Amino acid sequence: MSDSVRRVAVCPGSFDPVTLGHLDIIGRASKLFDKVIVLVSTNLAKNPSFTLKERLLMIEAVTSQYQNVIIDILDGELLANYVRRVGAIAIVKGLRAVSDFEYEFQMALANKKLYPAAETVFLTTAAENMYLSSSVVKQIASLGGDISSFVSPEILPLIQERLGRQQSQ
């Protein structure tokens, strides 16, 4: 299938750090679209623990099994403009709860106004990930808690080193 007719989706987020919940959404999106661009972006409302490049490298490390997933950085550009530029037909967002939907619905309407050719696709989280967020992971790690069931083992040491106390094995 040529690039001009491939179904490309963009999965944006701050991924600070990437969690198993994020990976669930990325994996499921990879089954729905021919190409998924995981787009690491800055969340201006939060103080990031990892640089954009560090987050890109972490996501690359934990998504290597997906042949149709690539990672990119969004820095200083509107999401709608990026989606248009790469020829994507969809923006994929994960939803944990109704409170997520209110914010994401507003963003979806704004993106649709800015770039009508792309649809926002909402994927609901798996039940076991409903409580899981990067913020929760950061808080637990910073207090020395065990985050091994929340993030991939490939990136666990880096997160523990940056955010908190090392767990004794």
Is 168 among the catalytic positions?
Answer: no
Nearest to 73 by CA among 56, 85, 60, 90: 56
134 included as an active-site residue: yes
Which residue in 46, 53, 85, 165 is the catalytic one? 46
Residue 35 among the catalytic residues: no
When the pLDDT of each residue in the chain is averaged and rounded to a whole number, the result is 92
Quick one: which H or E segment has residue 32? helix 20-32
Identify the structural domains of the chain with CATH numbers, from first to last: 3-160 (3.40.50.620)
* pTM of the predicted protein model: 0.91
**Among residues 6, 28, 84, 96, which one is catalytic?**
96
**Catalytic residue check, 22:** yes
Active-site residue (options: 14, 30, 134, 152)? 134
Whether residue 165 is predicted with pLDDT greater than 80 in this model: the reply is no
Query: 22, 55, 93, 138: which is the annotated catalytic residue?
Result: 22
Model pLDDT for residues 107-159, shown as the tens digit of each residue: 999 999 999 999 999 999 998 988 899 999 999 999 999 999 999 999 999 99
Q: Cβ distance 63 to 55 under 8 Å? A: no
- Structure confidence by residue, pLDDT tens digits, 48-106: 999 999 999 999 999 999 999 999 999 889 999 999 999 999 999 999 888 889 999 99
Give the angle subtended at the CA of 126 by the CAs of 153 and 73, to the nearest 5°. Answer: 60
pLDDT in tens, 8-31: 999 999 999 999 999 999 999 999
What is the three-class DSSP state of 71? Answer: strand
